[in-house]
A and B are shown apart, each in its own frame.
Chain A
Amino acid sequence: MELASCDVLVVGGGGAGLRAAIAVAEADPSLRVAVVSKVYPMRSHTVSAEGGAAAVVKPGDSLDAHAYDTISGGDWLPDQDAVEAFVREAPREMLNLEHWGCPWSRDPDGSVAVRAFGGMKVERTWFAADKTGFHMLHTLFQTSLRYEGIRRFDECFATRLLVDDGRCQGLVAIELCTGRVLGITARAVILCTGGCGKVFAFTTNAAIKNGDGMALAYRAGAPLKDMEFVQYHPTGLPFTGILITEAARSEGGYLLNKDGYRYLQDYDLGKPQPKPVLRSMELGPRDRLSQAFVKEQEKGRTLKGPYGDYVHLDVRHLGEQLIDRKLPFVRELCLKYENVDPVKELIAVRPVAHYMMGGVSTDSNGATPLPGLYAAGECACVSINGANRLGSNSLPELLVFGARAGRSAAEFAARQRTPGSAVSSQAVDEEHRLQDLLGKRGGKERIATLRTEMQQAMEKSAGIYRTQASLEQGAAVLGRLSERYPDLALDDRSQTFNTELTSALELGYMLELARAIVASALWRKESRGSHQRTDFPKRDDQGYLSHSLTYRAEDAAPRVEALPVSITRWPPGERVYGR
């Protein structure tokens, strides 16, 4: 077994991970930072974010306004102290990224441009054409190359966190190109591994979004927070699930049902105007728009396609010039994958699973209840997004909480002793477990079969609308899949870049997380934001103005507890759009 050591270990090389690594390197250049990622950092899923990143920067806007939009957008589940810190630091982080070279789109006078976005009362979304995540990730990656103190372990697949003496002291990972198992000890670990959208059948998420870090933390005893809140993005392409950015709507696109009718007006989202009105109609929050689609579907007013029902997104009235300037990637994607030119034709879209509001429970400094373990980005839940995330809040979240987690992990690490030998023997045990998995003969289940059954079960039982019955059925199916999981058959026995082994491990992570999602959805007997229960259709602040905390139980259903929401200045109110 190969042993390496560092002071702060960042797992995941996306926006949050790279920002955290740079934050550690800047906070304390004497610390050795390592970034472990199962893909090269520029392949991380941050790269596919399109629309933009919100931060208060224009006159006429205020931190309180951004905070209120975020809190009400999250249906009063966000922790308000964390939101206040978030909106305060977002402009600084975004400016910092600009200073690192990020090519933000500009106004004619050379200042950074902002645009409207769903659920926001004021225009505050910074953007880089419609490839904001791409530009942010590449800026962060290229900037990180400057820091000699950051050591990267590219294409190393983390399989287990090392916990000893009550604190997290490193992890075990497979170095994919050789198959060697590495034990990397550290004095603090920051998980930045993203969400787990691949537990669902239709998703905007890439293949790599399997919730690795969430599952590792969960298995190490850290609780997951708010797992029942899954965001469905209203406009994904049918079949591929490819994301069509919210910016298409914020620039003025309409959502039309099969009769060419702007159906959102029937769902308390305002009256249709020719130009986009903030916090109204197509610029409403994502959960309400996705729910409207399901209602239209029930009424038989959606179109039927070979890959499911869909509605139309109409941007023809925006004109070719605007589309090429502000939405060029949307045009490219539609032409390529749907053979449709948005300048002249309607785009077929449907809600697809997109973002996990839930994740590893952290405080506003990125610290989990397990000392030495931190988390930031989509894999963490602080929570600033609550029951529904507003578009363009997740990219600044990566920067703000990546930096905060980096700084607090650096400070923690500087105060710790170096990991002892107990941790190395744990690592050796894990190596043996992996070798056994690789060498196991027999087995009759195929990975793809179990994975597809899991995804279909999640889509049916824990989709946009849930009931006690659908969730219980989902739990039962997932339970049976978990029993079949040890019986997996592997075709690939090679040590060199064995992607079948990693797919099997990823499936294991996803099954655990799927069960956590269903368990917390069963626990929350109310409807709030993106968690809608037809058997409990109202929001219940008396009983459920709290987060769900889901703990793993060996050989039993996950245990769910409540964690009260932190309310500072905005008492729970009615969530109003379009009025």
Chain B
Amino acid sequence: MSPHTTFHPKWYRPRVSVWWWLEKRPYRLFVLREISSVFVALVAFVTLLQVRAVKQGPDAYARFLEWLGTPAVLAVNALAFAFVLLHAVTWFNLAPKAMSLRLRGKKVPDAVVAASNYAGWIVASAIVAYFLLRD
């Protein structure tokens, strides 16, 4: 095409608003999903604090547990838990898109890949729960 037409000045080019993500439900859900990674990092950080508290001895650990029980921290952790759940669920549901597994020439259906992720999650949680709750 000739240069005259490629970047024709009279073509209307609308600007995209910085609030584009508020327009549609799928976009809003997408942004929440992305934000959830912050909360995943937060949970990891709190776990590190917990490990440090254990290292510092039983008094420090007791103070740490008390701190965890305060309403503000509880609220933040509850929110973090919700976001981590969102993160895990969206991750498991979307993971099959990246993995094109073929078994004996036929494609493994997405649902099977996702289901195996969930199954692994349940098994891992069961094991952890067993060790935490036996006493």
**Interface positions of A (Cβ within 8 A of B):** 2, 152-154, 175, 177-178, 180, 496
B2 touches A177 (CB 8 A): no
- Minimum CB–CB distance for B7 against chain A, Å: 12
B70 at interface, CB cutoff 8 A: no
B125: CB under 8 A from chain A? no
B4 / chain A contacts, CB cutoff of 8 Å: 178, 180
CB nearest to B2 among chain A residues: A2
> Is A496's CB under 8 angstroms from B10's CB?
yes
B8 at the interface (CB under 8 A from A): yes
| Chain A, residue nearest B4 (CB) | A178
- Cβ 8 A contact of A154, one of B1, B8, B10: B1
Task: Verify if B56 is at the interface (C-beta below 8 Å from A).
Answer: no
Task: Check B5 for interface membership: any CB of A closer than 8 A.
Answer: yes
- B interface residues, tally (CB under 8 Å): 6
Bound together, the chains give a CA A496 to CA B10 distance in angstroms of: 10
Distance in Å from the Cβ of A210 to the closest Cβ of chain B? 24
Complex Cα distance A2/B1, Å?
A: 13
List, in ascending order, chain A residues with CB within 8 A of B1's CB. 152-154
* A69 vs B5: C-alpha distance when bound (angstroms): 49
Which residues in B have some Cβ–Cβ distance to A below 8 Å? 1-2, 4-5, 8, 10
Give CA–CA (A177, B8) in the complex, Å. Answer: 9
Bound complex: CA A509 to CA B5 (Å): 28
CB of B21, distance to nearest CB on chain A (Å): 32
Q: Which residue in chain B gives the minimum CB-CB distance to A178?
A: B5
Query: In whole angstroms, how far apart are the Cα atoms of A152 and B2 in the complex?
Result: 10
12 contacts between A and B (CB under 8 A): A2-B2, A152-B1, A153-B1, A154-B1, A175-B5, A177-B5, A177-B8, A178-B4, A178-B5, A178-B8, A180-B4, A496-B10
B92 to chain A, nearest CB (A): 28
Instruction: Give Cα A524 to B48, complex, Å.
Output: 93
**A55 CB to nearest chain B CB (Å):** 28
Nearest chain B CB to A348 CB, angstrom units: 35
In the assembled complex, how far is the CB of residue B118 from the closest CB belonging to chain A, in whole angstroms? 29
Nearest CB of B to A153, in Å: 8
Residues of A within 8 A of B2 (CB): 2
**For residue A175, which residues in chain B have a CB less than 8 angstroms away from its CB?**
5
Given the complex, which residues of B lie within 8 Å of A178, measured CB to CB?
Answer: 4-5, 8
Nearest residue (CB) in B for A152 is B1
Q: Which residue of A lies closest to B11 (CB)?
A: A177
Q: Which residue of B lies closest to A496 (CB)?
A: B10
Once the chains are docked, how many angstroms separate the CA of A154 from the CA of B10?
19
Question: In the complex, what distance in Å separates the CA atom of A178 from the CA atom of B5?
Answer: 7
- Chain B's closest residue to A176 (CB) is B5
Q: Which residues of A contact B8 (CB under 8 A)?
A: 177-178
Once the chains are docked, how many angstroms separate the CA of A496 from the CA of B4? 13
Please name all residues of chain A whose beta carbon is closer than 8 Å to the beta carbon of B10 when the two chains form the complex.
496
How many angstroms from the CA of A152 to the CA of B10 in the assembled complex? 23
Of chain B, the residue at the smallest CB distance from A156 is B1
Minimum CB–CB distance for B91 against chain A, Å: 31
Chain B neighbourhood of A153, CB < 8 A = 1
